Structure 1
């Protein structure tokens, strides 16, 4: 355990230094210029699709859609990695931000000789086709698939080609047989915050659950965690996402509970929280989902003050976000960190990756885990990412960490 803790703490210091050093270098008169988008939340497609437009150092290890790389890239970039995300269409802002942070990671690691070269492909133009093109181009590791539907098509194509794939989706049903799920799991955040509540003498739970897949996953996680830790669930109440149905669902909860899980977005929590005051004037402990971490305005919702939720730690992401905005002119969506962390993961394994050989897939199952922008994580034997999560509280001053994310994994 001490060895694991030491390694992860050492990786935290390395990662922090990596972001800080490269950020200061960019501010210190570097001749490298970075494109910025103008008045849009979507990074300019040319910043991804045409690396020459970025006027960056040739050894950043980044190419796109099979474009010829420089001689220096060819010398260093012996490990070919495909990043397959939506670069066009309705979700281009998410996909392009992931591709951008993947590029940033390669750039940041260039002087560490990891030998990583990434090539980006547009899943919006055909997810399976993008995988087939990536394989024919010689890529030995596939990163991508943001949404379950595209990830499912990509997984089939990757398995047929016997190429390992790390997906940014959180659909755990995709995991296994060469596919690793890296997305933020619904169940993990709920398990963490419910366990924290149980440890703080709250034992009887209720839950507001949206109809659909997300609600079912949240319900299963709540029931399993409470059952395994000696608590009880008083009532579960489902709803469709309309104000009237949410109001009716709160009424159906009754009064016999001391903590209530709102397993939904901050928008729904804003509607439900004011309705949760009990007849005696007391308010139960409100628990939220990992979705709350993307809302910077919860401090403006007094009804949610004191609510707890679990999330990946944000400290490193704030550094990455600042660096991203300096380069691209916009603030990245929260999922953008997955691109950076996936490249860090590949780089961490690269010393065991034979030149021009297959990716050493078994190294993904290291029990020690890996450190990234989103904290410590590891893939379990089911090929699903386990993450070290923090418990946070909503307050008038913003989001406050009340139980930091662990820096080690128990066996």
Structure 2
């Protein structure tokens, strides 16, 4: 029997690695929010990097170091584009984030990269909206996106769309949502429902369960019975590996609901931690992940350069600098405006192609993987450009 459910790890929840979606108000447009201050493409462009350094948390300190290292790695790859990176420590707290963002703009920053946590990013965006400065946050929380705030992290909506469309292409069009009754679970449920509605597939049913071991045990028979009754051929789970995923997938297997009857789809990464791959309940399941080829290349370079593995979201700092550098290279004074940031062609990042949307969210090219014999097997590669298969 699977061990008692652990509480979702606080650090991962704060990071918003598609494991949490806090209910925060989005930034309200103020003044010239998002227009972006003019730059001189022939001079170094000042970029403020807001990281959770100066925190008492060792995890935050590691994260801050990884983000700064990745940003500097990206700057080194820009060739002739000159970026003046200025690092600001936030201690991971939303309280001082607004004042720090304002200070960065007073110091000459033309754009802000970071901060990590949703509350911080929201505060930073509000603080500098009247200055027209855009904020490329490391959050994945779509609730804070909008006006001058963009989220670089992978969103529930992006992942749900990719998986639903791929499942439909494989003939699995009757989707049943299985979600835990938590803020993240509810946000995930809504994202999956929207993805199904826009795909031509059918939402066969939605079943929630209490986020506890007893809640899962009590709900499993009902979930299995519902799946059979509605003829679902895909079960889309919001659960993550730190929470109820190990137990709910095993319980449903015990109830006879296997991927042969209904394919298991995961809204979160099922390969982190790697030990998850050995669980019987997730065998045959599908989930989405960044392009493994480009991301593994980044990890190897980072390890060789800094002598340690990068934090899982360090690549977002590289992506932000890569996007800024590509726009500055255009030679336009308005290179960091909202219009420029949301160019349809997108940018090349460490996890593959991505672009920023006008609503402040993002689209990322994701690969589809299956857990097969305790290994991650890519069954549909990440698209390399927008407009092709996978988007």
Same-fold status (TM-score > 0.5): yes
> Whole-Å Cα distance in 2 between the matches of residues 361 and 382 of structure 1?
10
Which segments of 5 or more consecutive residues in structure 1 lack a partner in the other structure? 1-74
> Paired residue for 1:371?
348
> Paired residue for 2:63?
94
> Paired residue for 1:275?
251
**Greater Cα radius of gyration, structure 1 or 2:** 1
1:389 corresponds, among 359, 362, 366, to: 366
> Paired residue for 1:83?
49
Matched, 1:220 2:190: yes
Do the aligned partners of 1:308 and 1:391 also contact (CA within 8 Å) in 2? Answer: yes
- Number of residue pairs the alignment of both structures matches: 334
Matched, 1:238 2:208: yes
Partner SS for 1:335: coil
1:160 corresponds, among 94, 114, 130, to: 130
4+ aligned runs moved over 6 Å, structure 1: none
Of 373-382 and 251-260, more deviation after overlay is shown by: 251-260
> Whole-Å Cα distance in 1 between the matches of residues 332 and 380 of structure 2?
41
> Paired residue for 2:5?
none
Do the aligned partners of 1:86 and 1:95 also contact (CA within 8 Å) in 2? Answer: yes
Tell me how far 1:189 sits from its aligned partner.
0.7
Tell me how far 1:102 sits from its aligned partner.
0.4
Matched, 1:303 2:281: yes
Describe how 1:18-37 pairs up with structure 2 within 5 A. Answer: none
> Paired residue for 2:293?
315
Tell me how far 1:166 sits from its aligned partner.
1.0
> Whole-Å Cα distance in 1 between the matches of residues 108 and 256 of structure 2?
67
Matched, 1:326 2:301: no
> Whole-Å Cα distance in 1 between the matches of residues 330 and 173 of structure 2?
47
> Paired residue for 1:104?
73
Tell me how far 1:228 sits from its aligned partner.
3.2
Residues 204 and 362 of structure 1, relative CA distance in 2, 3 Å threshold: closer
> Paired residue for 1:294?
272
Do the aligned partners of 1:166 and 1:182 also contact (CA within 8 Å) in 2? Answer: yes
> Whole-Å Cα distance in 2 between the matches of residues 248 and 230 of structure 1?
32
Residues 384 and 353 of structure 1, relative CA distance in 2, 3 Å threshold: farther
Tell me how far 1:305 sits from its aligned partner.
1.4
Do the aligned partners of 1:312 and 1:388 also contact (CA within 8 Å) in 2? Answer: yes
> Paired residue for 2:89?
122
Residues 247 and 80 of structure 1, relative CA distance in 2, 3 Å threshold: same
Do the aligned partners of 2:136 and 2:150 also contact (CA within 8 Å) in 1? Answer: yes
Partner SS for 1:120: strand
Do the aligned partners of 1:298 and 1:394 also contact (CA within 8 Å) in 2? Answer: no
Structure (1 or 2) with the greater helix fraction: 1
> Whole-Å Cα distance in 2 between the matches of residues 197 and 123 of structure 1?
41
> Whole-Å Cα distance in 1 between the matches of residues 110 and 319 of structure 2?
18
> Whole-Å Cα distance in 2 between the matches of residues 113 and 333 of structure 1?
28
Matched, 1:259 2:237: no
Residues 280 and 119 of structure 1, relative CA distance in 2, 3 Å threshold: closer
> Paired residue for 1:195?
165
> Whole-Å Cα distance in 2 between the matches of residues 128 and 300 of structure 1?
44
Partner SS for 1:366: coil
Do the aligned partners of 2:346 and 2:354 also contact (CA within 8 Å) in 1? Answer: yes
Which segments of 5 or more consecutive residues in structure 2 lack a partner in the other structure? 1-40
> Whole-Å Cα distance in 1 between the matches of residues 361 and 117 of structure 2?
16
> Whole-Å Cα distance in 2 between the matches of residues 93 and 198 of structure 1?
40
> Whole-Å Cα distance in 1 between the matches of residues 315 and 271 of structure 2?
13
Do the aligned partners of 1:393 and 1:399 also contact (CA within 8 Å) in 2? Answer: yes
Residues 279 and 87 of structure 1, relative CA distance in 2, 3 Å threshold: closer
> Paired residue for 2:35?
none
Tell me how far 1:210 sits from its aligned partner.
2.2
Partner SS for 1:169: coil
